[in-house]
Chains A and B, each alone.
Chain A
Amino acid sequence: MVNIIIFLTLLCVGYFVGSYLEKKHFKSIIAREDQSRDILLFCKRYPDQMILSSDGQLVSGNVVISIDYFKSVSAGLRNLFGGRVNAYESLLERARREAILRMKDQAGKMGANAIVNVKIETSSINKGAKSVGSVEVYAYGTALKPREVS
């Protein structure tokens, strides 16, 4: 009886706090993406002649996001039936976009107008006996700063 109450409380806290924070995070991501739209991102190594007239520097953004209790139970149940794990999809989407934004932030501060050769790495933290608790997403690339014409 006590266990059930604890479980339901955790579930409710996880759901309400978790979805509030997620909504807030997405809002902030969308707003910041709008602000940093002038820094271009490329997966290519050498986009056109741009590289010839710029200085390059490594920039990176790193994010660790934790799953809430509701998401972990929901994903655990999903393990039984298979299908899209919506709980994890939104978590990873947030982490990836946040990592890119942080990388862009770094590039913006050094006056770059593009980042080339962008790569994203994902890894889960605490892989131990219990289920995945949080994910780390690391985005990195070469920021290009236009060379000043003297």
Chain B
Amino acid sequence: MTRYENPKIPEGINYSQNSGFKDFFGMLAGAVLLVVCVVLSMALLSRYALTAISFEQERKIAELVDFELPERSEGDQRIQQYLQALADQLLESAPFDYPVTVHYVPEGEVNAYATIGGHIIINGSLLSRLESENALAMLLGHEIAHIQHRDPIVSLGQGVLVGVMLSVVTGNESGAGWLISSFSEISNMAFSREQESKADDLSLQMLRKTYGHVNGADQLFVALDGATGELLKGTPEWLSTHPINKHRIAKIKAFTEGLDSSRKTLKPLPDFIPSVL
């Protein structure tokens, strides 16, 4: 008769006895590389493909989007006309001449932005924090620079392309999916910071041509810094879409150094603005 027994089977045949840590970091490095390649190639693709669309075409696309702006009071309209006139004045010293349309929104958070079709939106809460026309011109110049660089349409295209690519790759809501999309956000932020930094540079040049100096430009970032919540202030630069305000102010200081701007005075904002705000 056959004899049977239950022998002891060596461990580690059906599973790996490693902790999985090395394995994990190997895959993590691979995932970072993959995401950086995806974001980089999509960024280049959208930069080349979308800037081939003419600005007139972009304006037509933007017309399809309804800008639902609230009914404006007489005072708000006056501010908007003033902002538009200042933008047009700055535009004269811009390297390209894509026209911009400024919209003034009395409410909203402390913010201003440029969007496709050459539209610039300035919120009242940011305007009320600015102390001179020079700081406002730095703001408008910065947004105009985004439009001259075609940043809104490039970022839009890049966002859509990267989003589609990554949803194909990850396709789930697990921790790994979250990890991959965070990597892509962080690499997108690097692109965004570069765009912001270039917009600051061009804005400073426009300011210098218009006023002969760039005094007062740093006040914009002092105001923005004052409006930033304490929690967000600790965010490191690599996790932000914009360069941190301290660095932006330092850059303006460096730009000023070569110029003789000691006796240049700032231009105040028109008298009617504080009464409307």
Q: Is the interface of A mostly helix, strand, loop or mixed?
A: helix
Collect the chain A residues with CB atoms within 8 Å of residue B6's CB.
Answer: 37-41
Inter-subunit contact B16/A90 (CB<8 Å): yes
Inter-subunit contact B175/A48 (CB<8 Å): no
Given contacts A4-B182, A39-B6, A87 and B20 within 8 Å (CB-CB): yes
Q: Give, as a whole number of angstroms, the nearest-CB distance from B13 to chain A.
A: 9
Instruction: Select from chain A the residue with minimum beta-carbon distance to B1.
Output: A48
Could you give, for residues 91-133 of chain A, a 1 whenever the CB lies within 8 Å of some chain B CB and a 0 otherwise? 0110000000000000000000010000000000000011100
Q: Give, as a whole number of angstroms, the nearest-CB distance from A116 to chain B.
A: 11
Contact of A86 among B2, B18, B31, B175 (CB under 8 A): B18
Contact of A33 among B8, B175, B179 (CB under 8 A): B8
Inter-chain CA distance A19–B34, complex, in Å, is: 28
Inter-subunit contact B179/A7 (CB<8 Å): yes
B71 within 8 A of A: no
Collect the chain B residues with CB atoms within 8 Å of residue A73's CB.
Answer: 24, 174-176, 179
Q: Give, as a whole number of angstroms, the nearest-CB distance from B22 to chain A.
A: 10
Inter-chain CA distance A109–B4, complex, in Å, is: 21
Inter-chain CA distance A140–B8, complex, in Å, is: 21
Collect the chain A residues with CB atoms within 8 Å of residue B4's CB.
Answer: 40, 42, 47, 114
Q: Give, as a whole number of angstroms, the nearest-CB distance from A114 to chain B.
A: 8
Q: Give, as a whole number of angstroms, the nearest-CB distance from B202 to chain A.
A: 30
Inter-subunit contact B15/A76 (CB<8 Å): no
A13 within 8 A of B: no
Contact of B169 among A71, A80, A86, A130 (CB under 8 A): A80
Inter-subunit contact A93/B173 (CB<8 Å): no
B30 within 8 A of A: yes
Inter-chain CA distance A33–B20, complex, in Å, is: 25
Inter-subunit contact B176/A86 (CB<8 Å): no
Collect the chain B residues with CB atoms within 8 Å of residue A30's CB.
Answer: 11
Collect the chain A residues with CB atoms within 8 Å of residue B11's CB.
Answer: 26, 30
Inter-chain CA distance A72–B176, complex, in Å, is: 8
Q: Give, as a whole number of angstroms, the nearest-CB distance from B241 to chain A.
A: 13
Which B residues from 25 to 81 make CB contacts under 8 A with A? 27-28, 30-31, 34
B268 within 8 A of A: no
Collect the chain B residues with CB atoms within 8 Å of residue A75's CB.
Answer: 176
Instruction: Select from chain B the residue with minimum beta-carbon distance to A96.
Output: B14
A84 within 8 A of B: yes
A149 within 8 A of B: no
Inter-subunit contact A78/B14 (CB<8 Å): no
Inter-subunit contact B175/A10 (CB<8 Å): yes
B262 within 8 A of A: no
Q: Could you name 8 residue pairs across A and B whose Cβ atoms are closer than 8 Å?
A: A7-B182, A19-B19, A37-B5, A40-B5, A49-B1, A74-B24, A76-B170, A77-B30
Binding site for B on A (CB under 8 A): 1, 3-4, 7, 10-11, 15, 19, 26, 30, 33-34, 37-42, 47-49, 69-81, 84, 86-87, 89-90, 92-93, 114, 129-131
